[in-house]
Amino acid sequence: MGDAAETVVEATDVWKSFNGITVLAGVSVYARRGEVVGIVGPNGCGKTTLLRIIAGLEKPDRGRVFVKGRVLLVFQENLLLPWRRLRDNIALGLLYRGVSRRKAMEIVESVAGMLGIVEHLDKYPGEVSGGTARKAAIARMLVLGPDILLLDEPLAGLDVESRRSLGEAIRRIAASGKTVILVDHNLDEASRIADRVYVLTNPPTRVEAVVDLRDVPPGERPAALYEALSRAARRREG
């Protein structure tokens, strides 16, 4: 991913309060085409709110949001219909849009191939692991062809192997030219998946540090992230 890649998401100085309490207090983030961007912060710091603002589901009180292309948000809950096989869950949005069943299944198989869940397509959500169900929830949005995919805590509640496998799948999604912005509350994990990590503070929430990890080998990323964070803390302490 060269520096020349186009910026497709730019949220600038975003503010948001709920019931008089300031949650986001001037948060700026951007993402380029084909990048994975991680947004990490403590519970309740406004990560979901920021994603909802980028997705256009919520209006900021102040600030600008620029989005180039189609953006889709995958909610924290999988929201799969338990009485439908994975292939039909994933195809749902395509069928609603009038795509023929044959064409829809071609698209489902291709996306499922990228996510590594082809062998589970004929199973029901209750018959697959949490990791496979999460991939199916992501696939359901991917088949709709977004340019930008927002993932709200995609790794939450998964075991170590499922997290590793989903992390690799997310990297493949970005390598296919899509931009992925994911929210997580675990720094190590986000650093292994993301090209750039935004670390948010507690509310009123600001960006505490932005760490570029593109050129850092995966095994050294958590250490590089902690090093950047301690540098930022030393700078703040003056």
Residues at the contact surface with ligand ATP, assessed by CB under 6 A: 18-19, 23, 41, 43-49, 185
What DSSP element (H or E) covers 169? helix 160-175
Least distance (Å) from ligand ATP to the CB of residue 120? 27
| In the complex, least distance from residue 111 CB atom to ligand ATP, rounded to whole angstroms | 26
Adjacency order of strands within the sheet including 21-32:
21-32, 7-18, 62-67
Residue with Cβ nearer ligand ATP (45 or 138): 45
The first and second tokens of residue 149, run together, are 């995919």
Q: Which is nearer to ligand ATP, 26 or 93 (CB)?
A: 26
Choose between 108 and 180: whose C-beta lies nearer to ligand ATP: 180
Instruction: Measure the CA–CA gap between 16 and 149, rounded to whole angstroms.
Output: 22
Smallest separation (angstroms) from ligand ATP to the CB of 52: 7
Q: CA torsion sign, 53 to 55 to 59 to 65?
A: positive
Closest separation between CB of residue 110 and ligand ATP, Å? 32
Kindly state the smallest distance separating residue 153's Cβ from ligand ATP, in Å: 7
**Rounded to the nearest whole angstrom, what is the least distance from the CB of residue 56 to ligand ATP in the complex?**
15
Instruction: Specify the residue, 90 or 194, whose C-beta has the smaller distance to ligand ATP.
Output: 194
By C-alpha distance, which of 204, 205, 161 is closest to 183? 205
Residue tagged 């406004």 (tokens): 46
Identify the H or E element spanning 86. helix 86-96
Omega before 218 cis (within 30°)?
no
Which of 19, 237 has the CB closer to ligand ATP?
A: 19
- In angstroms, the Cα distances linking 22 to 64, 165, 183, 205, 226 are 17, 37, 20, 8, 27
Q: Which is nearer to ligand ATP, 23 or 166 (CB)?
A: 23
Distances in whole angstroms, Cα of residue 217 to Cα of each of 61, 192, 220: 39, 9, 6
